[in-house]
Structure 1
Amino acid sequence: MEWKKRAQTLYQYLLSKLGQCDLCGNCLHDSSLTQQTLLCSSCLADLPLFDQAIIQGDLLNWPAINKGLPKINFDHLICLSPYLPPFTHWLPQLKYQGRFELATLLANLLAQQWEKQKLTELIAPVDLILSVPLHINKWQVRGYNQAHLLAKPLAQSLQLPYDEFALIRTQNNTSQVGKTGKERRKTLANAFTLAKELPGNTKHIIIVDDVLTTGSTANEISKILKRVGVNEVTIVAVCLTLPNTNN
C-alpha cells in the first residue's frame, strides 16, 4: 500500500539524519560518515559489488557481458553491481520516492570505484559527463531526473565538466520494463537528440544512468554522439541487469 511505502521512506530518511545505517539501523560511530555513505562499515562491505579487479573496472572485458549485449555502440561499461538487493530497493526509492540522499551515496560509490581501479589511466581522458534525459512530460510529473541526481555529484567527485542540458528526450515513450531488446530498440529509435553543439574537441563522453538492462538507451545516445565526432562513449550505471530475452 502507498502509505506503507511512504512510512518506510520516512523511517529510512530519519535513520540517515540520526546517524544510523540505512540497512541495519546500527549507529554510525563517526557522524561525518552519515551524509557520505549512509552505511556502517559492515553493510558497506556486504554490498554485492562486481569484482572489479577481474575485469579491470570495465564490464565489457567480461565475455559474458559482450554476449549479452550484442551490437553495442558504446566502448566501456562501468557498473557497481548486478541489480540485486539492496540496490533493488534503493533505486526505486531514489527514482519514485525522492530519497535524494541515495544519489550522493551511489555517486560516491561509483567515484570510489573509478579511482580505485585507476580508470583514468586505463581509458582515454574524459572530456564531458552527460546524463540520460527524461522527457519533459515525465520530468514535470516526477519533478526530477534520477540520472541527473547521480551524474552531478559524480562529476564533482571526478572533477569533470557536466552538462545536464546537452541531451534531450524528444519522445515520451511508455515504460520499457518487461520489453525485449528488440522492442526497446524500436521504441527508442530517434527518441533522443542533442540540444546544442558539444564543446570543441570533445572526444570521450561519460553517460550516466541508474540501471542498464538491454543497452538500448545507451546505444541510441552513443550513436548520436558518434555522429558528431565523439570517439569514445563510456556508460556509467549503478546496476546492470540482463533479462533472459532475445536481444
Structure 2
Amino acid sequence: MGIASDQPRAAATPRVVVVDDDPDLRSLIGGFLREHHFDVVTAADAGGLTARLGESPVDLILLDLMMPGEDGLSVLRRIDGPNRPGIIVLSAMGDEHDRIEGLELGADDYLAKPCNPRELLARIRAVLRRRDEVRLAVGNRDFRFGGWRLDVIARRLSHATAPSTQLTDAEFRVLKVLLETPQTVLSRDQLLDAAHGASADIFDRAIDVTISRLRRKLDPENLIRTVRNEGYMLAVTPEAA
C-alpha cells in the first residue's frame, strides 16, 4: 500500500511538502516558496513525509533521495493512488543514471542540487499546471484499446485478464496523446511536450523511459510501435469507453 492519500487536492493555495534531511535547506526552500504564495510544510525524512501526507491534501512533494533511514527512491516506489501528489526530485545525485531512475519510478521532474531557486519555482509551477490541465481536459471520457481500458479520472489501466495498474502523470499524458492520435507517428519532442511541457529541461531519454514503462504495463500486446529515427505510434485505433 502506498503512502499517498486518496484525498482530493487542496483548492486555492498549492500545498508543498519539502522533504530533506538538511534543516537549513528546508528552511531556505520553504521560505522562498512561501514568498511566492505556496503553503509549505517540511519533513526531515520519509516518516515525516508520511505524517504530512496524513494531515491534509498535498499538491506537490520536493523529495531528496539521500536521507537517513528510508531513501527517496524507496519513497517513490511507495507513492501511488489516483490523487498522488506531483513529485519533483531535488538531489545531489544528478548524473543521467540517477535522473533516469527517478523518472522510471514516477517522478514528474528531477533537479540536481544546487539549483537556481527561480528554476525550481518554474518547475513546480509547470508540474502543477500540467496536472491541472489533465484534470480539466479529460472529462469523463475513457478509452478502450487492444483489450485495455484507460480510466482517465483515476489514471488507471485495466484488462479482463490482468490486474489493473496505476499510471504516473507522465505515463498518463504520453498514453493519452497516443490514444488521441492513433496510428500516427509522434516524435520524441512531441511526446516530451505532452509529458513534461515545452519549456521543461528534460532529455529525450525520459520519453524512452516512459514508453518502456508503458510497454511493461501493457505487456504482452505490442500496442506501442517504435518507428526508427522518427518516434512512436499507437498501433490500434481506440474507441470511447
TM more than 0.5 = no
Which has the bigger relative contact order, CA under 8 A and spacing at least 6? 1
TM-score by length of 1: 0.29
**Structure with more of its chain in helix, by fraction:** 1
